[in-house]
Structure formats: C-alpha cells, structure tokens
Copies of this chain bind each other. A is one copy, B any other.
Amino acid sequence: MAEFALIQRYFSGLSDPGQDVLLGVGDDCALLQSPPGRQLAMTMDTLIADRHFLADVDPISLGHKSLAVNLSDLAAMGAEPAWALLSLSLPKIDHDWLQGFVQGFKALARRFGVRLVGGDTCQGELSITIQLTGFVEPGRAMLRSNARPGDLVYITGTLGDAALALQLLRAGKDPGALREYLEKPQPRITEGRALAAVGVRTCIDISDGLVADLGHICQRSQCAARIQVAQLPLSPMVASHVQETGDLALAVAGGDDYELCFSLPVAARQLVENLPFDCTCIGEILPGQGVELVREDGSNLPLPSAWEHFSS
C-alpha cells in the first residue's frame, strides 16, 4: 500500500507528460516547466471524513468535491488550473470505492485541464489532501488585500444551498436538488478567470460562509463591509426556509458555498455586469472594520453566531 503506483493505473490518462509536464507520476518528484510570463498560484487542503464530508458520501461525489474545494481557491485568485498532487489515506483498499473516487476526480480534472503529477497513498482514517498549482498573469491575481472604501461587493451564484442540504440530510430528509450544492460544488474557475481579466483585484471564495470570508477581505484590506440583506441572492428553497424560520444564518454563515465574493470600484461595475454569468451586488466596502448586515429599513441585523458547517 506504500506505493502510489498501486493505484496509479486508476488515474491513467490524467498524468501524461506534455508541454509543461516533463515527468509525471512515477519518480521521486514530478518535473515541471512553468510557462514563461506566468506566476504560480499554489494551494493545499485536507478533507477528513466526518469533519469535511459525510463518511458514507458516494465516492464519485467525494472525488469531485475534494478537487472542487481546491479549485475554488485557484478560482478566487483568478488562476488557470494546471498541476495536482494527491495524497489519499484509506482505511482499506476498496476497488469499487476507488473507481468511483477516481471517476469523480477525473471528470472535474479534465473539465479544467488539471494534470495529476504525483502524490502517495497510505493506510489510515479516510482523508484526502490535494495540492494544486495554477498559472496567473503577473499583476492579475485577485487578493484579499485589495478592497478599498467605496468598492461595491458582489457574489456569484446563490447562498446557503449547501448548508440547507446538510441540515436536511442531518434531519434524515431528502435534500432533493440541493444535494448537488453540498456534494458536487462547481468551482468558479471560468468566473474567476473572467473577473481577473476585466481587472477585478479583490476576491475570496465563500467556503466558511459569507460573513466570515468577507470578514477576511475586510481584515486584510483594513476596511469594513456593509451587506444589504434584501439583496442577497437566494434560491427558491433557501428563500422559503428563510421566510419560514426568519433565520438568515444558514445563508450568510452556512459555508460550503464555493461561490466567489469580490469587490470592485464603482467605475468598473459595467465591465463585470456584462460578463456572461450571474453575479449580484450585495453591498459596499466602507472605512472601518468588520462586516455588518443591514435590513431594508436601515436597521442592523445581529451577526449570526457560529454555524455548524463543514469547513475547508
């Protein structure tokens, strides 16, 4: 079980040498060539059973999600995905399970041009560590530290769908169409590349929930953010849930959304709104610190306390 080669055959076709992969899986190291005129964006995340995902989740979804949460970090930088290393810790070798995991991983990797260049496998509790490298044009990376007072705050997609799915699953209910948001999140690579290309310089992915992640932008940019609650984009199921319970926590702090939250000067508004995907202006950047939620009547909504979610 010590050698990655053992399961390497599952990943065949995903690690072929090419222009930038001089040597893939199978030696002490992979050998790679960074393209001229590009910087490298690197991220690494570990997902552990029952902490970041339900241990009995189907392996196809897990293969997808493990890669997706890492791709989401590249998306938030505006980077183009390139190389992956995968460390897989498994309680035992279950070939059906592995086949499913690889199927989910491979399909997403192919969609975004990810090549698997190395890694290892070992015996232990079920956990998955993926390290990803992407390419980004010099000066174009979107950072947490570039927000400025006066900027508008946007997000892609909708909020709270994954958190509601998890809540339903935990209550023994069928989350229906929401299950995809929890188990097969779509990394916003295309959106991140487009945002970086039109000049957006501040972005984060919403994996810990909107309030927490926008809070990271505020902290690194030394500013505050005011969110208009009425402008938050919610899917019909989440909107019903919020209306029934009167509780927004799931939408603003639910986490696991993997949408992008970004800010830009008002003058750049049209550039972003012309892009061929949905994004919603939800508030603005102000001097000061911290995130506040404001109702339509101008009153403040208390920040939700910590929400139990899968974090990564």
Give the B-binding residues of A (Cβ under 8 A): 2, 22-23, 26-34, 39-46, 48, 51-52, 73-74, 76-77, 79, 83, 85-87, 89, 117-120, 122-125, 127, 129, 131, 133-134, 136, 141, 143-145, 203-205, 208, 220, 311-312
Q: Name the residue among A31, A42, A127, A205 with the largest chain B CB count within 10 angstroms.
A: A42
Q: Determine whether the beta carbon of B34 is less than 8 Å from that of A85.
A: no
- Stoichiometry, as copies per complex, reads 2
CB distance from A168 to the nearest CB of B (A): 23
Given contacts A29-B77, A31-B77, A44-B86, 12 further A-B contacts (CB under 8 A): A26-B144, A28-B43, A28-B205, A29-B41, A31-B40, A31-B136, A32-B40, A44-B119, A44-B129, A46-B120, A51-B123, A51-B124
Q: Determine whether the beta carbon of B127 is less than 8 Å from that of A89.
A: yes
* B-side contacts of A145, CB under 8 Å: 27
Q: In the assembly, what is the distance between CA of A205 and CA of B119, in Å? A: 16
A192 to chain B: closest residue by CB? B28
Contacts known (A122-B51, A129-B129); A208 close to B42, Cβ less than 8 A = no
* B-side contacts of A26, CB under 8 Å: 144, 220
Q: Name the residue among A40, A123, A133 with the largest chain B CB count within 10 angstroms.
A: A40
Q: In the assembly, what is the distance between CA of A127 and CA of B33, in Å? A: 30
